[in-house]
Amino acid sequence: MALLQISEPGQSLDPHQRRVAVGIDLGTTHSLVAAVRHGVAECLPAGDGRVILPSVVRYLDPALGGSGRQIGFDALAAQVQDPANTVSSVKRLMGRSRDQVVDVDKLAYTVVEQDGMAVVETVAGRKTPMEVSAEILATLRFRAEDSFDDELYGAVITVPAYFDDAQRQATKDAAQLAGINVLRLINEPTAAAIAYGLDNGSEGVYAIYDLGGGTFDISILRLTRGVFEVMATGGDSALGGDDYDQALAAWVLAQQGVNALLNASERAAVHAEARRLKEALSSSGSETFRASVAGQTFEQSVTPSDFEACTAALTARTMTAVRKVLRDAGITKDEVKGVVMVGGSTRMPVVRRTVGEFFGQEPLTNLNPDEVVALGAAIQANALAGNSKDGDLLLLDVIPLSLGIETMGGLVERIVPRNSSIPTALAQDFTTYQDGQTALALHVVQGERDLVADCRSLARFELRGIPPMVAGAARIRVTFTVDADGLLSVSAKEQGSGVEARVDVKPAYGLSDEQIAAMLQDSFATAQQDMQARALVEARVDADRMIAATRTALAADADLLEADERLNIDTLIESLSQSLGSTEAATIEAATTALAKGTEAFAAMRMNRGIQKALAGKKLEEV
Ligand code: ADP
Ligand code: MG
């Protein structure tokens, strides 16, 4: 099914009014900015033609004057000489306290705790991870504004699928510091899937294998009706291209019989050479490693199979994580419809081959693996800014928790199920409970539980002016409409008279991801209990209805009954009333059934009387 399309009111697609909207991949190692130009997503280059910006910021001693910092390649080049003030991999600190940062002591700069937050100690003072990220984001923002010679309208920024609320909030704060309007944060694997246009393709399960510089992420996404749901994520936050460099360097040094400890600059030089060689080997037959250690210069030739042999354990570790995430998602590898390769390290032929053999299919590699996340974000940004042409489908969010209405007895009737894509509009018909009921109290709730008391109350409103009718005759259509921003409005309309009432509510926004997770957890744990509670409430409502209907009938037509028949019915009503105190739905249901059976004959007599009344005084041909 195609998703509903959004075009913002009054935002027609006059090329002169086009809004500059970009996608930003704020990576651990590299960051990129991309935009849709002439209908095609492309990464925007810096003045020197390079699209990649190393995610590195170097802070300079303020006493020396000058601009105060270097960003990107300049900072990267200075890292060897000034490691203590050169902040790389700052993404690992985002939204974390110091003790939450993996291997924090291995970082070449000093991380301290401040207000529950990991911050970096530099020669220019303490810098929060948001400030450091903001330098990178601002650089990309200026690059985009220079490319388009226009102000930036907004950006879609990508985050790892496993990022929690604090990490996402930190990313948003960084963007705000950089003066960027965040159109949306989207998950990196989802962005990669969008870049490949999978959202326009066939529904099913996709695996996104992302091997970057310092991290490995594997995500299983399920595409339904144009929306991706993250089924499971996994990986290894301390496994990436850097480890391949190290493994190669160690192998070369061992071949050369070097076992002396290297000093910092030798180590940096060997590492840089290893990286150069690794990258070159991805597209060539054999390479020569050149370095000097302790005044001795050496050369070592390395073939692709040497490289594969000395890094085999690393590739194997990624596959262990792949198998685990498939188990977590509860699927087999044969159920995976497509595999998307993301991250610079998936350029290594051995990685592509291993992944391809495991899944039994060629992984998708025709887009640049280090650009694919930014490209997907750009496509999404373009659509959110209202730039995409009519007919373009827009990938949207899903509703995190079900939305529903309170019905008789404090039960929830779910109208919009959880994970429905938005925008959406869904309706259900309800009716009145009492004869002559002229108003209806509507209570809108959110949650997965069956009882209103266990869900979150969103809004209450009333529908008044329903014409008096017998119970059950009114047709009240309740419509839930959720717009693209997740704004919910609920309307209730009595179909016969047309009376209508509505209310606007904002769902989900007040809930943190943890609260959502807790509510879902709750609903799984208590599903059984809920079913029993629901059955009990339903049994009581049915019993009440049965008793009320029988009393009404007796009031009207009791004269049809013999004394013993009347006594029998009264006894059945009495025992049903007593059963209402039971906590067993089955007991109440049995008593309700008994009353229904015991009044069958009475009901038949009443029907006959009704027909006779209707026919009285009419000629046969009039009937
Ligand atoms: P991140 O997402 O962590 O910012 P990237 O996706 O940019 O990282 O990947 C960076 C890694 O990709 C580095 O380890 C780099 O050496 C590696 N890489 C880049 N090009 C190649 C190549 N041609 N062959 C092998 N590895 C490569
Ligand atoms: Mg990345």
Residues 332, 358 contacting (CB under 8 angstroms): no
Q: In what order do the strands lie in the sheet with 500-505?
A: 424-430, 476-482, 488-494, 500-505
Lowest mean pLDDT of 35-49, 328-342, 353-367, 513-527, name the range.
513-527
337 and 424 fall within a common domain: no
Number of domains into which the chain is organized: 3
CATH of the domain at 110: 3.30.420.40
358 and 412 fall within a common domain: no
499 and 594 fall within a common domain: no
Residue 545 confidence (pLDDT): 86
38 and 160 fall within a common domain: yes
pLDDT digits (tens, 9 = 90+) for 456-471: 888 888 888 888 888 8
Is the preceding peptide bond at 423 cis, omega within 30 degrees of 0? yes
Structural domain ending residue among the three candidates 483, 506, 524 = 524
The ligand whose atoms approach the alpha carbon of 25 most closely is 2
424 and 444 fall within a common domain: yes
393 and 407 fall within a common domain: no
183 and 198 fall within a common domain: yes
Checking if the pLDDT of 536 tops 50, the result is yes
Residue nearest to atom 20 of ligand 1 (CA): 344
Q: Is residue 251 part of a domain?
A: no
Q: Is residue 140 part of a domain?
A: yes
Lowest mean pLDDT of 59-63, 109-113, 125-129, 240-244, name the range.
59-63
C-alpha 126 to ligand 2 mean position (Å): 26
3-state per-residue secondary structure call for 264-282 = HHHHHHHHHHHHHHHHHHC
Instruction: Provide the domain limits for residue 557.
Output: 528-615
Residue nearest to atom 4 of ligand 1 (CA): 29
CATH of the domain at 415: 2.60.34.10
Q: Is residue 301 part of a domain?
A: no
Out of 131, 135, 173, 210, the active site residue is 210
Q: Is residue 559 flagged as an active site residue?
A: no
542 and 510 fall within a common domain: no
* Residue 54 CB–ligand 1 contact under 6 Å: no
* Residue 160 CB–ligand 1 contact under 6 Å: no
Determine the average pLDDT of the residues in 178-195. Answer: 91
483 and 518 fall within a common domain: yes
In sequence order, what are the residues at sequence separation of 6 or more whose Cβ sits closer than 8 angstroms to the Cβ of residue 101?
92, 93, 111, 118
Q: Is residue 277 part of a domain?
A: no
Q: Is residue 92 part of a domain?
A: yes
Q: Is residue 11 part of a domain?
A: no
C-alpha 169 to ligand 1 mean position (Å): 27
Quote the mean pLDDT of the chain: 86
pLDDT digits (tens, 9 = 90+) for 193-202: 999 988 777 8
> Which ligand 1 atom is the nearest neighbour of the CA of 30?
4
Checking if the pLDDT of 312 tops 80, the result is yes
Q: Is residue 370 flagged as an active site residue?
A: no
Using pLDDT thresholds of 50, 70 and 90, give the confidence band for residue 112: very high
Residue 391 confidence (pLDDT): 35
Residue 481 confidence (pLDDT): 87
Using pLDDT thresholds of 50, 70 and 90, give the confidence band for residue 122: very high
Q: Is residue 32 part of a domain?
A: yes
Q: Pick left, alpha or beta for residue 149 (phi over 0 → left; psi -120 to 50 → alpha; otherwise beta).
A: left
479 and 515 fall within a common domain: yes
C-alpha 25 to ligand 2 mean position (Å): 7
65 and 194 fall within a common domain: yes
Strand partners, 35: 22, 42
C-alpha 428 to ligand 1 mean position (Å): 52
Structural domain ending residue among the three candidates 524, 559, 592 = 524
Q: Is residue 392 flagged as an active site residue?
A: no
Scanning the structure block, which residue is given the tokens 């008789």?
408
Q: Say what the pTM is.
A: 0.64
CATH of the domain at 544: 1.20.1270.10
Mutate to test the pocket of ligand 1, among 187, 370, 371, 373 (most ligand atoms within 8 A of CB): 370
Is the preceding peptide bond at 189 cis, omega within 30 degrees of 0? no
Q: Is residue 483 flagged as an active site residue?
A: no
pLDDT digits (tens, 9 = 90+) for 479-529: 998 876 566 789 999 988 888 888 877 544 445 566 666 766 666 666 767
DSSP secondary structure of 116-165: TEEEEEETTEEE-HHHHHHHHHHHHHHHHHHHHTS---EEEEEE-TT--H
* Residue 213 CB–ligand 1 contact under 6 Å: yes
> Which ligand 1 atom is the nearest neighbour of the CA of 342?
6
Out of 131, 135, 173, 188, the active site residue is 188
pLDDT digits (tens, 9 = 90+) for 41-100: 999 999 999 999 999 999 999 887 766 899 999 999 988 889 899 999 999 999 899 998
Q: What are phi and psi of 6, to 5 degrees?
A: -115, 125
Structural domain ending residue among the three candidates 524, 550, 572 = 524
Q: In what order do the strands lie in the sheet with 216-224?
A: 227-236, 216-224, 204-211, 336-342
236 and 342 fall within a common domain: yes
Residues 363, 198 contacting (CB under 8 angstroms): no
Share of the chain above pLDDT 90, in %: 47
Residue nearest to atom 10 of ligand 1 (CA): 213
* Residue 352 CB–ligand 1 contact under 6 Å: no
Q: Is residue 273 part of a domain?
A: no
Compute the distance between CA of residue 422 and CA of residue 484 in angstroms, rounded to an integer.
Answer: 6
Residue of 381, 384, 363 lying closest to 373 (CA atoms): 381
